[in-house]
A and B are shown apart, each in its own frame.
Chain A
Amino acid sequence: MNPKTFKDNDMQAIIGWILRIGVLLSMSIIFIGGVIYLYRHGHIPADYRTFKGVPDFVHNAQGIFNGIITLRGRAIIQAGIVLLIATPVIRVVFSAIGFVLEKDYLYTGITLLVLLIIFASMLSGHAG
Chain B
Amino acid sequence: MADLDAHVVAPARLKLLTTLTAVSEAEFSTVRDTLQVSDSVLSKHVAALEHVDYVKRRKGVHRGRRTTWISLTPRGRAALSVHVAALRDLIDGVG
Q: Do A and B come from one complex?
A: no
